[in-house]
């Protein structure tokens, strides 16, 4: 056992100094290779005059080259130290932001639920709001495209209805028909109790979640922007991927809907959703493409995780096909 440990230590030492030993060996070969040349020899002896000239040459020209190489290596070392210092500073703040995000999620509460479970309830309430939007639009023969219906439903979720909430809701829906917005407010107030009974809400829906979601999205946006503002020497996508890993499926889904409204439009204006694939983990049929949102129309092919899985599965099937036929 002792012999084996000694062998491992010797092997580790060799690997640690392998590059330096290689450079040293090549340097010795280069220095002594001159003695092979006939110009510096008199028969079997070394020509002192030629060797002296060679020494002057080495001390002047070659020495200057080594000095220049030393300057370059020193600059590279200082540059690496500066980059390391900058990376350490970035990562210190980055991981502090990650911790703050986790704390924000843990502190979100909605009646008896807290943390990520709240986003499951919020998605359920969003779908109820979308149902009310469709009902009001169809009953009043208001023409609303699918994106407008989803945006209206999210504003109902975010602001809710009430003395102050309704005023903000009407402001954000001012581009829509005033009659539709008024009927929507009335219907949301009228159906609160029904949805509580039918959907099992332990809280009164449509009263707004601005206090919960506003702070959550502001910090998440600040965190992604902080990484995005770093230079190309930092692997920005990898760091944002770690942020994305903190988001549950329902968080990503609600983030996508938020980004499609005027409230969260900066996610698209800065191309954060697309460039960093912040919502790539949303399952294929999470949204109903005919009544809610067709996510396939928003992104390029292979954006979502399930598209990558499908592609890999197709390749695997083609490779396995000859064996399955035999």
Tell me: the pLDDT tens digits for 243-281?
999 999 999 999 999 999 999 999 999 999 999 999 999
List the domain boundaries for the chain. Answer: 1-30, 94-320
* Whole-angstrom distance, CA of residue 291 vs CA of residue 196: 22
Q: Give the three-class secondary structure for 242.
A: helix
| Spatial distance between the Cα atoms of 240 and 271, rounded to a whole number of angstroms | 13
Beta strands in the chain (DSSP E): 41-42, 45-46, 109-110, 113-114
List Cβ neighbours of 293 (8 Å cut-off, separation of 6 or more).
146, 150, 256, 257, 260, 287
Model confidence at 313: pLDDT above 80: no
Residue 309: the pLDDT is 62
253 CB-near residues (< 8 Å, 6+ apart): 123, 279, 282, 286, 287
Q: Which residue has the higher pLDDT, 20 or 150?
A: 150
Q: Check: CB of residue 83 under 8 Å from CB of residue 233.
A: yes
Q: What element of type H or E holds 131? A: helix 117-139
Rounded average pLDDT over 63-89: 73
The percent of residues above 90 in pLDDT, for the chain, comes to 54
**CA dist list (Å): 204 to 22, 192, 317:** 74, 6, 50
pTM, 2 dp = 0.74
What would you measure as the largest C-alpha separation in the chain, in angstroms? 113
The C-alpha torsion from 255 through 260 and 264 to 265, rounded to 10°, is 140
For 188-239, the pLDDT digits (tens) are: 999 999 999 999 898 999 999 999 999 999 999 999 999 999 988 889 999 9
- Cα–Cα nearest to 90, from 272, 228, 267, 271: 228
pLDDT band at 317 (very low <50, low <70, confident <90, very high): very low
pLDDT of residue 247: 96
Q: What does the pLDDT average to over 295-323?
A: 66
- Give the pLDDT of residue 190: 93
Distance of alpha carbon 258 from alpha carbon 255, whole angstroms: 5
Of the listed ranges 71-80, 106-115, 125-134, 153-162, the least confidently predicted one is 71-80
How far apart, in whole angstroms, are the C-alpha atoms of residue 253 and residue 279?
A: 7
pLDDT bracket for residue 36 (50, 70, 90): low
Q: In this model, does residue 83 exceed pLDDT 70?
A: yes
End-to-end Cα, the chain, rounded Å = 52
Q: What are the tokens at 277?
A: 């694939």
pLDDT of residue 321: 46
Distance (Å, rounded) from C-alpha 117 to C-alpha 212? 13
Banded pLDDT at 47 (limits 50, 70, 90): low
* Residue 314, pLDDT score: 47
Q: How far apart are CA 205 and CA 251, in angstroms?
A: 19
Query: How distant, in Å, are the alpha carbons of 141, 156, 208, 213 from that of 118?
Result: 34, 17, 13, 11
pLDDT at position 192 is 93
pLDDT of 307:
77
Other Cβ atoms closer than 10 A to 257: 24
**CA nearest 123: which of 245, 7, 231, 213?**
213
Look at residue 85 and tell me whether its pLDDT is greater than 60: yes
**DSSP category for residue 114:** E
């Amino acid at each position: 056992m002792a012999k084996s440990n000694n062998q491992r230590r010797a092997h580790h030492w060799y690997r640690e100094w392998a590059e330096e030993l290689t450079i040293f060996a090549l340097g010795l070969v280069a220095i002594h290779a001159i003695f092979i040349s006939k110009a510096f020899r008199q028969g079997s002896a070394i020509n002192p005059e030629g060797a002296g000239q060679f020494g002057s040459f080495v001390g002047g020209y070659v020495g200057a080259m080594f000095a220049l190489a030393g300057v370059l290596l020193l600059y590279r070392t200082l540059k690496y130290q500066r980059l390391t210092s900058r990376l350490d500073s970035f990562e210190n703040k980055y991981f502090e932001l990650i911790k703050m995000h986790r704390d924000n999620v843990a502190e979100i509460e909605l009646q008896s639920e807290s943390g990520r479970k709240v986003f499951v309830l919020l998605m359920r309430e969003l779908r109820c709001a979308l149902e009310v939007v469709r009902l009001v639009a169809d009953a009043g023969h208001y023409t609303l495209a699918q994106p407008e219906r989803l945006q209206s439903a999210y504003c109902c979720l975010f602001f809710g209805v009430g003395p102050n909430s309704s005023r903000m809701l009407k402001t954000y829906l001012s581009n829509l028909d005033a009659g539709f917005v008024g009927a929507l407010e009335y219907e949301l107030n009228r159906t609160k109790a029904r949805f509580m009974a039918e959907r099992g809400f332990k809280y009164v829906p449509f009263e707004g979640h601005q206090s919960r979601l506003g702070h959550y999205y502001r910090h998440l946006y600040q965190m992604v922007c902080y990484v995005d503002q770093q230079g190309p020497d930092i692997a920005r996508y990898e760091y944002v991927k770690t942020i994305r890993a903190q988001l549950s499926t329902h968080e990503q889904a609600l983030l996508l809907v938020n980004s499609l409204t005027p409230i969260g439009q900066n996610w698209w204006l800065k191309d954060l959703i697309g460039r960093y694939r912040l919502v790539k983990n949303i399952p294929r049929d999470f949204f109903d493409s005919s009544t809610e949102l067709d996510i396939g129309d928003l992104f390029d092919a292979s954006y979502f995780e399930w598209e990558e899985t499908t592609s890999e599965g197709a390749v695997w099937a083609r490779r396995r096909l000859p064996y399955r036929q035999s």
